[in-house]
Amino acid sequence: MSQKQGPRRVELVTKVLAANERAAEDNRRRLREAGIVLIDVMGGPGAGKTALLEATIPRLAAARRTAVVVGDIATANDGERLAATGVPAVQIVTEDMGGACHLEAGFVAAGLDRLDLGALDLVFVENVGNLVCPAEFDLGHHARAVVLSVTEGEDKPLKYPLAFRVADAVVVSKIDLLPHLTVDLGALRANIRRINAKVPIFELSARSGEGLEPWLDWLRGIRGS
């Protein structure tokens, strides 16, 4: 990049983030007025975000009226999977809006527009599968969880630190696969701790249900603003 482009690019990025911050504040106000908690679920492609929500939503059903806003670059596959849990699910396809590799607060606002907020306590956002960009955008959420599957490698928290730094919880997913892998779970935990010393870590399997209860307890404990 030439020196000429540098400052202009910085200015543009600053404007994009400032516009996002205003939209995030609007979301926060709307959610506060409706008494809704918003939880953003991030993670790389295939980490198990949708599977985690498919396992989580029915188990919270008695305690929380839940809906989901899910972002993908293309397809409504995840929206259809999540709607099958019986809760309202809004699919955001970013290809229709420039192909963003993350959700922005304005996209989430468009998702909230399509929900009956008066009939909800909890909205999950499943962010676009990406361990980098989603972490840069405030959505007006109350908490953020990053999902990392045991097949992705112990070093990922060190290589993609921002997602782990901004996370309020880390879900280590697919632990049912551990007998087939050589992954060092101790090293993975230590790497998460190097980036975020105090973050709660939930090791679980959406497939077998093992380890889900502490994650559900954490979710139940999140309060709105």
Ligand X SMILES: Nc1nc2c(ncn2[C@@H]2O[C@H](COP(=O)(O)OP(=O)(O)OP(=O)(O)O)[C@@H](O)[C@H]2O)c(=O)[nH]1
Binding site for ligand X (CB under 6 A): 43, 45-51, 78, 129, 173-174, 176-177, 205-207
Amino acid identity of 205? S
- 140, 149, 192: which is closest to 167 by C-alpha? 192
Map residues 128-167 to x or -, x wherever contact with Mg ion holds by CB under 5 A: ----------------------------------------
Residue 173 interacts, among Mg ion, ligand X, none and using kind-specific CB cut-offs from 5 to 8 Å, with: ligand X
Question: What is d(CA 42, CA 216) in angstroms, rounded to the nearest whole number?
Answer: 17
Query: CB of 137: closest distance to ligand X in angstroms?
Result: 16
Can you say whether residue 35 is alpha, beta or left, with left for phi > 0 and alpha for psi between -120 and 50 degrees? Answer: left
> Should residue 50 be labelled a site residue for Mg ion when binding is judged by CB under 5 A?
yes
> Should residue 78 be labelled a site residue for Mg ion when binding is judged by CB under 5 A?
yes
Query: CB of 53: closest distance to ligand X in angstroms?
Result: 8
In three-state secondary structure terms, 112 is helix
> Which lies closer to ligand X via its Cβ, residue 71 or residue 140?
71
Q: Between the CA of residue 174 and those of 34, 80, 194, 204, what are the distances in Å?
A: 34, 22, 22, 6
Query: CB of 17: closest distance to ligand X in angstroms?
Result: 24
Residue nearest to ligand X (CB): 129
> Which lies closer to ligand X via its Cβ, residue 28 or residue 72?
72
> Which lies closer to Mg ion via its Cβ, residue 78 or residue 152?
78
Is the distance from CB of 157 to CB of 187 less than 8 angstroms? no
Angle, helices 105-113/5-34, rounded to nearest 10 degrees: 30
Query: CB of 192: closest distance to Mg ion in angstroms?
Result: 21
> Should residue 40 be labelled a site residue for Mg ion when binding is judged by CB under 5 A?
no
Question: What is d(CA 26, CA 32) in angstroms, rounded to the nearest whole number?
Answer: 10
Residue 102 interacts, among Mg ion, ligand X, none and using kind-specific CB cut-offs from 5 to 8 Å, with: none
How many residues of this chain interact with Mg ion, rule: CB under 5 A?
A: 3
Residue 39: burial class (beta carbons within 10 Å; 0-12, 13-18, 19+): buried
Binding site for Mg ion (CB under 5 A): 49-50, 78
